Structure 1
Amino acid sequence: MPFYIRVLSPEEYGVVINFYSFISILLVIFTYGMETGFFRFSKSERFSSVYTSILSSLSVSGFLLIIIITFSSDFLSHVLYDGQFRISIILVGWIIAIDAFISIPFANLRLNNKAIRFGIIRLSGIFSNIFFNLFFLLLIPYLIKNEFIGKPYAIFFESGTGVFYILLSNLISSLLMFSFFITEILRLKGTFDKSIVISIINYSWPFIIVGITGMIIQNSDKILIPILRTDGFNELAVYAANFKIGILMTLFTQSFRFAFEPYFFKNSDKGLSSYALIMDYFIAFGLFIFLGVNIFQELINILLTEEYLYGNVVIPVILMAQLFYGIYFNLSLWYKLTDKTYFGAIFGILGTIITLSLNFITIPIFGMIGAAYSMLFGYGLMALFSALYGNKYFPVPYPLKKILLYFVAALVLYIINKLVVIDFYLFRYLFKITILFVFIAIFVLLQRKSGIKFLKS
């Protein structure tokens, strides 16, 4: 993000964010619950056939997606981007198809606790993406400017936009990650079984709705801001840049999800107290991140340029929204373990209706802050309804009083940090560090014996 806002215009950066919002939603649609289904059916004696059937299904749907997007790219470019970015739209189809396919080999690594290989492949994709972004957006323009590249090649490279090169870099990194799995895929001995795919879809369809609704809540604001606001792509750029300041919370909740889903499918027979402790620690650590990012916001703002700073107002709201999304995911174990997965679909649809309705009402009036609060209300209500129904069908002894005290402590400390203004640099940051230590002290005090037991385990 700091790189993009310095090499792209706000409008171009807004278009990039808009593209990735569509990618996020379509990726869930074209994975259609196969990842969660894979975890559930992987215990089957016919593991190879399960693996092969899922990959075959995703291959066919991915191919169809590429064909559809390629032939409709001209129409989509005129509807969404005034006739621009047609080739970029085609790249989007390829990215979604490949990423949907490799989600299953990645899920297999998670299932088998191959964290090192998982990390190596993911990091290879990340670093290759960074490399090609720097190559296309920084090195090539420098070489062209200083005439190190011949005119025909310069004309060729200049024909592409920053948006195109960002998506091309993404596609290259996706292909690189795919290459790590080629040998494994070729060695598969299972055969395609239509009945397996049907069984997985029958089990996973609520998760498809959950995933789609989750992505709509997460990305609808970035699709609607350019539509509902006069200077939409510029405002979207500012909103998205500040949204990404909350990346620590997003990474935390995503890492939790990667570890927690395989854990509870493998350990569903363990006591409910373990789930309660996980929620306890999850919320405490999430609120610590909330405080840390907000308290040291002026340091984090180094990542932004001056024209993006007015969007800081959305950061605390976005951080809290992401935390509630993580809480909702944590709560979702009850309907997965009781096979009442349709509740996940109901909560997802409800959250989507609320968020979209609020987006259409608040974005035209309040702009980006309206979008941020819409997301917070959407995730907050989903978590609330899941907690209420979960207590009925699968009661987990969550330490509610302790969790409430975490929230009260974090919000009080956040307000104190806002109200107390210290001009002297050293004292100001000593005060901020003290606030964080106060929260840690409150956490340790509330844990008592349960915290010690959990750390020992």
Structure 2
Amino acid sequence: MKAEGCQSSREAMSDNRPAWRRLAENAVIYTVSNAASSAVPFLLLPFLTRWLSPEEYGLVTMYSTLLAALGALAGLSVHGAVSVRMFDRQTSHARYIGTALYILGVSLLAVAAAVLLASPWLEAWSGLPAGWLLLAVLAAGGQFLVNIRLVVWQVEGKALRYGSFQFLQVAVNVGLSLLLVAGLHHGWSGRLAGISIALYLFAAIGLASLMRAGRIEWRFDPEYARDALRFGVPLMPHAIGSLFIAAGDRMIIAGALNLHEVGMYAAAMQIGLVISMIADAVTKALGPWIYKVLADGDATMKRRVVRMTYAYFAGMLALGVGFGFLAPWLLAFLGEQYRSGATVIRWVALGGAFSGMYLMVVAYVFYAKRSELLSAASLTIGLGNLALSYFLVTRHGAVGAAQAYAASQFLMFVVVWLIAAKCHPMPWRGALRNPVPNQAI
């Protein structure tokens, strides 16, 4: 425990770069690596939409949606507790991570059993065979391991290792998908295999890397388990609610329309979500600095954080609106079958801007450890999104789903900002009136 803290201190002391420069360089690395990771579906779109019919692309979308749903259950969201506890020098980080992995193993067995029991309904809803449903459970466990490896590097400030790991995973994902879909003509199943094999492989690499670095102690600690579950379990409704907001539209389209429309909508959605990808990278880079400012409690730095947040909000809105105007040109890459999605992209880009704004304020709720409030808001808004999506889809088709997505993301941002203001007060009004000294971050 002590050695871990000393090691982190030595690494921090050996880095003589100004703090602002470290933040800027890390933001660039996170942006590039997140771009590579999140842009996989985007970069593959011009190829997949020519090799796969909208129905086949709809199957790929349903697998990705199912993977996201299972990811909300695998590990019971305790990887978020690891990211918070890594800042606590009194915690044995290796034992904490080991305990989290024990929780992952037990939860995966429970999820696999539930999927087997529900497989007739899941097959009918998704169109996927039962075998792929079970492979998705294993892939969700792999994603949990990948997230743990990335979280540790992020907390340590090792953005280059973080980015390299993500980039290599993307390269394997893309390479296998192209080989199986285009080279060996396996169709939609080739794309699903590319996604899954890349997750399995890099989960194994991440686990081996953590063990080699001494970051895992294979000892179950009941106290740490309770702490991780107290953090993670209340977040599960949040994860499920967020899934309803992010993917409920595809669930509704699959039920109310057909897989053809799912494929059309998902292709346009991938383009519009570039905004969310950029926002995620920026907030990953700023997150450790914001947590440090909150821990220090310095009033001047809090005003600086608020001003930076307002500038970020303005940038996100401008990016979302501007990106929407480019929609007709972006759709030219997808082929004639997919050219009807320009309006979808405009609404999704706006929703992505609101999603990025949400990411900036949710950090205060996590810091205050009030995840139960976040869960209540997410689940309520997520259920509302399902109802609104169904209402609008039945009237406006896929465009209605995009409108519901944008509305739900806006509401989520506003509600979580209000919760954040209650959980951890910040000078949201005073920062605009009081001058901030020109001091380095």
TM class, shorter-chain normalised? Answer: 0.7 to 0.9
Cα deviation code 1:385-421 (max 9, x no counterpart): 233344445333347999xxxxxxxxxxxxxxxxxxx
Match of 1:176 among 178, 201, 205: 201
Q: TM-score with structure 1 length normalisation? A: 0.77
Corresponding residue of 1:428 = none
Structure 1 residue 340: Cα displacement: 2.9
Instruction: Provide closer, same or farther for how the CA distance between residues 346 and 81 of structure 1 changes in structure 2, counting only shifts above 3 A.
Output: closer
Contact kept, 8 Å, 1:56 with 1:192, in 2: the verdict is yes
Contact kept, 8 Å, 2:75 with 2:108, in 1: the verdict is no
Corresponding residue of 2:120 = 75
Q: TM-score with structure 2 length normalisation? A: 0.80
Corresponding residue of 1:349 = 379
Contact kept, 8 Å, 1:206 with 1:341, in 2: the verdict is yes
Corresponding residue of 2:184 = 140
Instruction: Provide closer, same or farther for how the CA distance between residues 191 and 122 of structure 1 changes in structure 2, counting only shifts above 3 A.
Output: same
CA distance in 1, matches of 2:285, 2:80: 13
Cα deviation code 1:112-146 (max 9, x no counterpart): 111111111111110111111111111123xxxxx
Corresponding residue of 2:224 = 196
Instruction: Provide closer, same or farther for how the CA distance between residues 205 and 256 of structure 1 changes in structure 2, counting only shifts above 3 A.
Output: farther
Cα deviation code 1:227-258 (max 9, x no counterpart): 112xx111111111111111320211221343
Structure 1 residue 281: Cα displacement: 2.9
Contact kept, 8 Å, 2:97 with 2:217, in 1: the verdict is no
Structure 1 residue 214: Cα displacement: 0.8
CA distance in 1, matches of 2:205, 2:342: 40
Instruction: Provide closer, same or farther for how the CA distance between residues 329 and 58 of structure 1 changes in structure 2, counting only shifts above 3 A.
Output: same
Structure 1 spans left out of the alignment, 5+ residues: 142-160, 403-448
Match of 1:65 among 108, 111, 116: 111
Match of 1:367 among 384, 392, 397: 397
Structure 1 residue 215: Cα displacement: 1.5
Instruction: Provide closer, same or farther for how the CA distance between residues 272 and 401 of structure 1 changes in structure 2, counting only shifts above 3 A.
Output: closer
Instruction: Provide closer, same or farther for how the CA distance between residues 45 and 206 of structure 1 changes in structure 2, counting only shifts above 3 A.
Output: closer
Is 1:217 aligned with 2:245? Answer: yes
Corresponding residue of 2:17 = none
CA distance in 2, matches of 1:77, 1:383: 31
Instruction: Provide closer, same or farther for how the CA distance between residues 12 and 453 of structure 1 changes in structure 2, counting only shifts above 3 A.
Output: farther
Does 383-392 or 373-382 show the bigger shift? 383-392
Instruction: Provide closer, same or farther for how the CA distance between residues 401 and 117 of structure 1 changes in structure 2, counting only shifts above 3 A.
Output: closer
Instruction: Provide closer, same or farther for how the CA distance between residues 66 and 176 of structure 1 changes in structure 2, counting only shifts above 3 A.
Output: same
Match of 1:294 among 300, 324, 329: 324
Residues 77-156 of structure 1: matches in 2 within 5 Å? Answer: 78-81=123-126, 85-141=129-185
Instruction: Provide closer, same or farther for how the CA distance between residues 279 and 9 of structure 1 changes in structure 2, counting only shifts above 3 A.
Output: same
Does 18-27 or 87-96 show the bigger shift? 87-96
Contact kept, 8 Å, 1:225 with 1:368, in 2: the verdict is yes
SS in 1 for 2:46: coil
Structure 1 residue 342: Cα displacement: 2.2
Query: Which letter maps to 2:240?
Result: I
Structure 2 spans left out of the alignment, 5+ residues: 1-44
Query: Which letter maps to 2:353?
Result: L
Q: Provide the alpha-carbon RMSD of the alignment.
A: 2.7
Say which one has the larger Rg: 1
